[in-house]
Amino acid sequence: MQPDPRSDEPGRAGFVAIDFGTSNSAVALPRAGAGPGAGVRLVELEPGQATMPTAVFYRADTPPPQPEAERLYGRAAIAAYVDGSEGRLMRSMKSLLGSSLLQQRTDIGGGRAVRYADVVAGYLRRLKQQAEAAAGATLSRAVLGRPVFFVDDDPVRDAQAQAALEAAARQVGFRELHFQYEPIAAALDHESRAAREERVLVADIGGGTSDFSLVRVGPARRGRIDRRDDILGNHGVHLAGTDFDRRVELAAILPLLGYGARRPARAGEIAREPPPEVPSAIYFDLATWHLINTVYAPARLAELRGMKAWYADPRHHARLLATLELRLGHALAAAAEQAKIDVAMHGRAEIDLAALEHGLQARLAEPEAARALEADLDRIVGAARETARRAGVAPSRIDTLYFTGGSTGLVPLVQRIAACFPAAAVVRGDRYASVAQGLGLHAAAVFGPAT
Phi and psi (nearest 5°) for 421? -130, 70
* Nearest Cα residue to 339 out of 383, 287, 381, 396: 287
The rounded distance, in Å, linking the Cα atoms of 95 and 159 is 14
Pair 423, 398: CB distance under 8 Å: yes
Residue 207's pLDDT is 82
pLDDT of res. 36: 46
Q: Cα(440)–Cα(137) distance, rounded to whole angstroms?
A: 17
pLDDT at 33: 56
Model pLDDT, residue 275: 82
- 73 sits in which H/E element: strand 71-73
Instruction: Give pLDDT, residue 451.
Output: 53
* Order of strands, sheet of 87-91, starting from the edge strand that comes earlier in the sequence: 71-73, 55-59, 87-91
Q: What is the pLDDT of residue 449?
A: 63
User: pLDDT at position 69, please?
Assistant: 82
Residue 421, Ramachandran bin (φ over 0: left; ψ between -120 and 50: alpha; else beta): beta
Phi first, then psi, for residue 15 (nearest 5°) are -135, 165
What pLDDT sits at residue 100? Answer: 84
Please report which helix (H) or strand (E) contains residue 374, including its range.
helix 366-391
Q: Which amino acid is at 149?
A: F
CB 434, CB 404: distance < 8 Å: yes
CA 234 remoteness from chain centre: 18
- Cα(378)–Cα(58) distance, integer angstroms: 39
Sign of the Cα pseudo-torsion (220, 225, 226, 228, in order): positive
| Residue 161 to residue 105: CA distance in whole angstroms | 18
> What is residue 160's predicted lDDT score, i.e. its pLDDT?
92
Which pLDDT does position 366 carry in this prediction?
Answer: 87
Per-residue pLDDT 10s for the chain (451 aa) are 333 333 333 334 589 999 998 889 999 998 865 444 457 899 999 999 999 999 999 998 887 667 788 899 999 999 998 888 888 898 888 888 888 888 889 888 888 889 999 999 999 999 999 999 999 999 999 999 998 888 877 889 889 999 999 999 999 999 999 999 999 999 888 888 888 999 999 999 988 888 899 999 999 988 788 888 999 998 988 888 889 999 999 999 999 999 999 888 776 666 667 788 899 999 999 999 888 988 999 999 999 999 999 999 999 999 999 999 999 999 999 999 899 888 888 889 999 999 999 999 999 998 899 899 999 999 999 999 999 999 999 999 999 999 998 888 888 899 999 999 999 999 998 888 899 999 998 998 888 765 5
Nearest to 249 by CA among 184, 335, 130: 335
**DSSP SS3 for 44:** coil
Tell me the angle at which helices 434-447 and 182-191 cross, rounded to the nearest 10 degrees: 80
| Alpha-carbon gap, residue 439 to 365, rounded angstroms | 39
Q: Are 445 and 225 in contact (CB under 8 A)?
A: yes
Distances (CA, A) of 25 to 37, 93, 94, 124, 208: 23, 11, 11, 10, 14
Rounded CA gap, 149 and 158, in Å? 6
